[in-house]
Amino acid sequence: MSRGRILVLVSNDLTYDQRVRKTCATLMAAGYEPVLIGRRMNQDAPETIDRPYPTERLWLPALDGPRFYWAFQQALFEALSRWQAQGGVAAVWANDLDTLWPAVRAARRWGWQIAYDSHEWFTEAEGLKGKPLRKAAWRLWEWRCFRHLDRMITVNEAIAEAYRKQGLMVEVVPNVPERVAEAADPMPREELGWPTDKKVMLMQGAFMDRDRGALDAVRALVHLPEVHLALIGAGPEHAAAMGVAEHWGVADRLHVHHRKPFDVLRRCTAAADIGLSLDRPTVDNFRFSLPNKLFDYLHAGLPVVCSDLPVAGRFVKEEGLGQVAVFSEDETALVQNVASAVLETLSSPPKEDHLSKVAARHHWGAHETKLLGALHWVR
């Protein structure tokens, strides 16, 4: 018998959010029925996606900006009201700050439990850089929501510590993959258009925002004449990559792919030789992040080149996963540092059995108890 429905809220289109997919799987295994609610990016997209639980994708004409966020808050609450009318709702699960207020409002009105999962340091995100009024508005919105919560979860200890200063109990559930019995079967490089006789670097990311390092990786190809680069994802830097490659004369060694379903992405990752995570320390959300792609590379057995950041860089160094590229404000020096780290990693990669042992310590199942402990009653 089901322990009740948990309405899981996100602001994306549901398809590529692996953390939320794993959360819903954990909730199902614990006896709940998750209902995943997000949005459509175009009006003609299906209203649901194929999952073993109910899904709903809302349509809003505005896709970003204040008008979108205001309409999205209203649309989410209306969706929660419809599910409440059907009965059986036990809790609401908000993912990131832009879904939290409708969740708090609904939990207080209908006596549900609530959980809050912050996938990033929302008020220190790249999109708020240089926008003090907008950042102040989100901080006020955050305070308005947090006064009704006792606890939350987030993705790493550095971000957790920042939230603890606001009086909440915060547990860390990192962006790690599920443990699988067998490694992914590498996608044949011929199907991807990758060379079979050259080394291939991979950077993957559902949204390659500004300063996420994709363009730095492209420019590094100038210093890596025998290496190719594959980008899998979406976002501003993903879109700009081929133009930058053409400018620098390396377009023939750049392979740009759109986002892929998780099972396909795992096979693509396994086909590469080295994984890249090159966030610049331009905002605290990047500076203190621990990207899920680091763990995806690890579980695929790939050595890593990572930015020398306080959290991600330290993790790579302490676990012996590859090399870090020292950040520099000088663009030329930065790109050379990336290329040098790649060459060093390729010439002396960590051993496969070492990567396998590290991967065995970092998997989703090790954190499911903390995840389920995020459910609590609102104040």
**How far is 187 from 258, CA to CA, in rounded Å?**
15
Question: Would you state the pLDDT for residue 183?
Answer: 79
**How far is 263 from 193, CA to CA, in rounded Å?**
19
Residues 193, 227, single domain; the answer is yes
Question: Would you state the pLDDT for residue 349?
Answer: 96
Question: Would you state the pLDDT for residue 145?
Answer: 96
- Is there a domain that residue 103 lies in? yes
Q: What is the mean pLDDT of residues 265-291?
A: 94
Structural domain harbouring 330: 189-361
Question: Would you state the pLDDT for residue 64?
Answer: 78
Q: What is the mean pLDDT of residues 300-309?
A: 97
Looking at residue 338, which CATH number applies to its domain?
3.40.50.2000
Query: Residue 180 pLDDT > 90, yes or no?
Result: no
Question: Would you state the pLDDT for residue 61?
Answer: 85
Residues 213, 349, single domain; the answer is yes
57-95 pLDDT, tens per residue? 999 987 777 888 899 999 999 999 999 999 999 999 999
SS3 content of the chain, % helix, strand, coil (to 5): 45, 20, 35
Question: Would you state the pLDDT for residue 16?
Answer: 87
- Is there a domain that residue 144 lies in? yes
In contact, 327 and 280? CB cutoff 8 Å: yes
Residues 256, 148, single domain; the answer is no
Q: What is the mean pLDDT of residues 276-290?
A: 93
Residues 240, 347, single domain; the answer is yes
Residues 104, 239, single domain; the answer is no
- Is there a domain that residue 297 lies in? yes
- Is there a domain that residue 183 lies in? no
Question: Would you state the pLDDT for residue 170?
Answer: 97
In contact, 19 and 12? CB cutoff 8 Å: no
What mean pLDDT is reported for the chain?
A: 95
Question: Would you state the pLDDT for residue 1?
Answer: 60
Residues 199, 119, single domain; the answer is no
Q: What is the pTM of this model?
A: 0.88
What does DSSP assign to residue 115? E
Which 3-state string (H, E, C) describes 222-271? HHCCCEEEEEEECCHHHHHHHHHHHHHCCHHHEEEEECCCHHHHHHHHHH
> Is 14 in a helix, a strand, or coil?
coil
Angle, vertex CA 234, rays to CA 67 and CA 219, nearest 5: 125
**How far is 220 from 248, CA to CA, in rounded Å?**
10
**How far is 57 from 15, CA to CA, in rounded Å?**
10
Residues 152, 236, single domain; the answer is no
Highest mean pLDDT (candidates 39-43, 126-130, 153-157, 260-264): 153-157
In contact, 295 and 155? CB cutoff 8 Å: no
Question: Would you state the pLDDT for residue 63?
Answer: 76
CA 311 to the chain's CA centroid: 15
Residues 146, 221, single domain; the answer is no
Residues 196, 172, single domain; the answer is no
Residues 242, 136, single domain; the answer is no
The domain total for the chain is: 2
Residues 269, 350, single domain; the answer is yes
- CA 222 vs CA 247, 252, 359: distances in Å: 11, 12, 32
Query: Residue 37 pLDDT > 90, yes or no?
Result: yes
Q: What is the mean pLDDT of residues 180-189?
A: 88
Residues 75, 194, single domain; the answer is no
Q: What is the mean pLDDT of residues 206-215?
A: 93
- Is there a domain that residue 166 lies in? yes
- Is there a domain that residue 184 lies in? no
The band of 226, judged by pLDDT with boundaries at 50, 70 and 90, is very high
